[in-house]
Amino acid sequence: MNPLLTVEDLHVRFPTRTGVVEAVRGVSFTLGRERLGIVGESGSGKSQTGRAIMGLTPTHAEISAKRMEFDGIDLLRAPPAQRRALRGNRIAMILQDPKYSLNPVMTIGRQIVETLRTHEKVSQAEARKRALAMLEAVQIRDAARVYDLYPHEVSGGMGQRAMIAMMLVAGPELLIADEPTSALDVTVQLEVLGILDRLVRERGMGLIFISHDLRLVSSFCDRVIVMYAGKIVEELAASELSRAEHPYTQGLLDCMPRIGADRHPLPVLERKPEWAL
Amino acid sequence: MSSTETQMPARRASRRALPILKSVAGFVAIVATTYLGLLAVTFFIGRVVPIDPVLAIVGDRAPAHVVERVRQEMGLNLPYYQQFVLYVKGVLQGDFGTSVLTTNPVMTDIRRVFPATMELATAGTIIGAAFGIPLGVLAAVKRGSIADQIVRILGLIGYSVPIFWLGLLALLVFYARLGWTSGPGRIDVVYEYSFTPVTGFYLIDAVINRDWAAFRDIFSHIILPASLLGYFSLAYISRMTRSFMLNELSQEYIVAARAKGLSETRIIWGHALRNAAVPLVTVIALSYAGLLEGSVLTETVFAWPGLGLYITNSLQNADMNAVLGGTIIIGSVFIAINLFSDVLYRMLDPRTRN
């Protein structure tokens, strides 16, 4: 089976006044219809990897790769219009905080309908019907009421479900979730993850789950990539996380709290310069 | 339907009506206080300035008993607070006293001159917003480009060059040399007697009268001063639009809109500008109010028979009733515009509604 997404030697560079900052330095992976987790600390390049695939890299950044293909489409050489037609339609992305990622002056319903009508020729009534069905699919019970609410009128968990509905309504094949639950309360996190898990499974989507939460990623994904300073330092099956070989991954694992175990003193995360080479 | 179900909406409506009533009452209280403050400040400034309104009427050669009689007739011998109460009573009935200069009631004069100023300021604001907003958006979207620099320089010239100088220059070039527009005044003498004002806004009146020749003439009179005022407000509106847009374009919901695959046009005009419009409303309202009171110089240069010219003439002739009346009208319009922009703000931003 052909992979859904192939990334080979991806680089993202930001020219700044003090020199070029390389956020992503030679990332390669392939993805089928599976769930891939990308973990790493802040600034490790995990978000920029996701944005490069979406085509949302800031215009002043330079982006290069040996190969970056989605379903046979060369993403680097595709014209902007074709990439735009992919976004939201075949590749979608969920952002971190619904408080900021939903347009505050537009009702939730309109924002969902907007995605749909950008990519499909459907009537307003049909679009509304599908948006309501999508709201129900993310387990919003009172869909007709929530449809007419503004983002500030719903809770964080509800907002993130609306975000998921907005991004999945056009039926994408690949979903990039960039820290989708980091801004939510712990109890709500599990609910939203459960909804996401079910939808990805039911619709057979490929998922890239970007997070700094190693435990969350390992329980949610099939495969995990660990990034450090713009590079992949380790790639392993989620079930084999405890057998990680790279000292950085081991360091991350050592920092996780364990019920019933004394964690004092908490080990300091090691960052050896040679890992970044 | 059962009776309980029909009662439900009614009860809910009454529960909703109470806060509305409360906010209306608060609204009225704020307006009344502001208005009273405005009256007090203008009145006392008018009385404190070293101008003797009696002398302005009777002249400086009048005998002492005449001066004293007129002073009493005008109520100027009363203590200030009594004068103030009398004045407020008059104003509440729409009576600002009589103008010495024109011998008309001040209200009659204002009814004649104020539409001229308002028409000019409205035309100016429309021009300023119609060009200023797109230019500001362009500057924000193409930040740091040549286009951004041009808009910046245009704006800088707009608020650093004195408007009367630009006005004279414009008259020289477009009226005297090129003959593209008409000169000073609102309307040509030819039309002055055949033309019957209805609203006082000549452009609208010409349309109502279906007098297209007059319309063309009025248009060619207003276009120069309106463009100048428009340029003046464009300078401000474009700068503010640029900074509001830059702020909105850096928000996360713009990234989300891109991730949805929306076109750049839709993202800029449908999402970012729709959000930037909220603070922009206040900016445009303030610049409109500024044009209403600040067009004195423009009115002088273009011999525009508006409120600014009226107040300046009155001030030079110590016609205090007219000055106070004009000031209060401008102040009232200021308050009205502020209230209007508050209402518009609420309409544009759902977060301020509750």
State pLDDT tens for residues A254-276: 777 777 777 677 777 777 777 77
B177 interfacial to chain A (CB closer than 8 Å): no
pLDDT band at residue B7 using 50, 70 and 90 as cut-offs: very low
Does A218 fall in a domain?
yes
Does A244 fall in a domain?
yes
Contacts across the A-B interface (CB distance below 8 Å): 76
Does A66 fall in a domain?
yes
- Do residue B179 and residue B322 come from a single domain? yes
CATH number for the domain spanning B324: value is 1.10.3720.10
Token digits for A213? 């939460």
Does A64 fall in a domain?
yes
pLDDT in tens, B286-328: 899 888 876 788 888 898 888 988 988 888 887 888 888 888 8
Token digits for A184? 């939510």
pLDDT in tens, A89-138: 999 999 999 999 999 999 999 999 999 999 999 999 999 999 999 999 99
Can you state the percent helix, strand and coil of chain A, rounding each to 5?
Answer: 40, 25, 35
What's the total number of domains in chain A? 1
pLDDT at B354: 62
CA distance A177 to A173: 13
Secondary structure class of B178 (helix, strand, coil) = coil
> Mean pLDDT, to the nearest integer, of A180-190?
87
pLDDT at B335: 84
* Percent above pLDDT 90 for chain B: 29
- Do residue B164 and residue B294 come from a single domain? yes
Q: Which of A56, A100, A105 sits opposite B350 (nearest CB)?
A: A105
Does B13 fall in a domain?
no
pLDDT at B84: 87
- Do residue B52 and residue B188 come from a single domain? no
Four-CA torsion A22, A28, A33, A37, nearest 10 degrees:
-60
**DSSP letter string over A243-263?**
G--SHHHHHHHHTS--TTS--
* B336 vs A273, more confident: B336
> Mean pLDDT, to the nearest integer, of B163-181?
88
- Do residue B86 and residue B120 come from a single domain? no
pLDDT in tens, A28-78: 999 998 999 999 888 888 999 999 999 999 888 999 999 999 999 999 999
Q: Given an 8 Å threshold on Cβ–Cβ distance, is B252 in contact with A95?
A: yes
Q: In sequence order, what E strands does A95-241 have?
A: 174-178, 206-211, 223-228, 231-237
B144 interfacial to chain A (CB closer than 8 Å): no
- Do residue B181 and residue B233 come from a single domain? yes
Does B115 fall in a domain?
yes
CA distance A98 to A121: 27
pLDDT at B12: 52
Domain limits at B87?
A: 19-92
pLDDT at B15: 58
What's the total number of domains in chain B? 2
Nearest Cα of chain A lies from the Cα of B306 at a distance, in angstroms, of 40
- Do residue B81 and residue B130 come from a single domain? no
Q: Which of A102, A152, A167 sits opposite B259 (nearest CB)?
A: A167
> Mean pLDDT, to the nearest integer, of B43-55?
78
Q: Is the peptide bond before A265 cis (omega within 30 degrees of 0)?
A: yes
Q: Given an 8 Å threshold on Cβ–Cβ distance, is A102 in contact with B253?
A: yes
pLDDT at A225: 92
Terminal alpha carbon distance of chain B: 31
Domain limits at A251?
A: 1-90+177-183+210-276
Does B117 fall in a domain?
yes
CA distance A39 to A52: 16
pLDDT surpassing 50 at residue B6? no
pLDDT band at residue B68 using 50, 70 and 90 as cut-offs: confident
> Mean pLDDT, to the nearest integer, of B63-90?
84
Does A165 fall in a domain?
no
B142 interfacial to chain A (CB closer than 8 Å): no
Q: Given an 8 Å threshold on Cβ–Cβ distance, is A105 in contact with B275?
A: yes
- Do residue B157 and residue B233 come from a single domain? yes
- Do residue B66 and residue B127 come from a single domain? no
- Do residue B116 and residue B88 come from a single domain? no
Tell me the chain A residues in contact with residue B140 when contact means C-beta distances shorter than 8 Å.
none
pLDDT at B230: 93
Cα separation values, B27 from B14, B20, B41, B335, B343, Å: 20, 10, 21, 12, 11
Does A82 fall in a domain?
yes
Token digits for A235? 């790639």
Nearest Cα of chain B lies from the Cα of A95 at a distance, in angstroms, of 7
pLDDT band at residue A167 using 50, 70 and 90 as cut-offs: very high
Does A149 fall in a domain?
no
Which of B248, B253, B345, B349 to mutate to probe the A interface, most A CBs <10 Å? B253
Q: Given an 8 Å threshold on Cβ–Cβ distance, is B251 in contact with A114?
A: no
Which residues of A sit within 8 Å Cβ distance of B? 54, 56, 84-89, 92-93, 95-97, 100-106, 114-115, 118-119, 150, 152-153, 163, 166-167
Residue type, A68: M
pLDDT at B13: 53
Does A154 fall in a domain?
no
pLDDT at B189: 76
Residue type, B187: I
pLDDT in tens, B242-288: 999 999 999 999 999 999 999 999 999 999 999 999 999 999 998 99
pLDDT at A23: 92
Least confident stretch, A266-275, B170-179, B217-226: A266-275
φ and ψ at B122, to 5 degrees?
-65, -45
pLDDT in tens, A35-49: 999 998 888 889 999
Tell me the chain A residues in contact with residue B348 when contact means C-beta distances shorter than 8 Å.
105
* Percent above pLDDT 70 for chain B: 95
Please give the order of strands across the beta sheet that includes A35-39: A91-94, A174-178, A206-211, A35-39, A223-228, A231-237
φ and ψ at B231, to 5 degrees?
-65, -40
Q: Report the DSSP beta bridge partners of residue B98.
A: B105
Report angle CA B147, B153, B159 to the nearest 5 degrees.
135
Does B68 fall in a domain?
yes
CB B350 within 8 A of CB A152: yes
From B49, B65, B92, the end of a domain falls on B92
pLDDT surpassing 70 at residue B17? no
| pTM of the predicted protein model | 0.84
Terminal alpha carbon distance of chain A: 34
pLDDT in tens, A227-254: 988 899 889 888 887 788 888 888 777 7
Q: Given an 8 Å threshold on Cβ–Cβ distance, is A100 in contact with B253?
A: yes
Four-CA torsion A204, A210, A215, A219, nearest 10 degrees:
0
- Do residue B213 and residue B305 come from a single domain? yes
- Do residue B70 and residue B164 come from a single domain? no
* Percent above pLDDT 70 for chain A: 99
CA distance B246 to B40: 42
Tell the residue number behind the tokens 């009172």, with chain if given: A142
pLDDT at B248: 95
> Mean pLDDT, to the nearest integer, of B174-178?
88
Per the prediction, chain A carries an average pLDDT of 89
- Do residue B225 and residue B278 come from a single domain? yes
pLDDT at B4: 44
Q: Given an 8 Å threshold on Cβ–Cβ distance, is A88 in contact with B271?
A: no
Q: Given an 8 Å threshold on Cβ–Cβ distance, is A105 in contact with B255?
A: no
CATH number for the domain spanning A266: value is 3.40.50.300
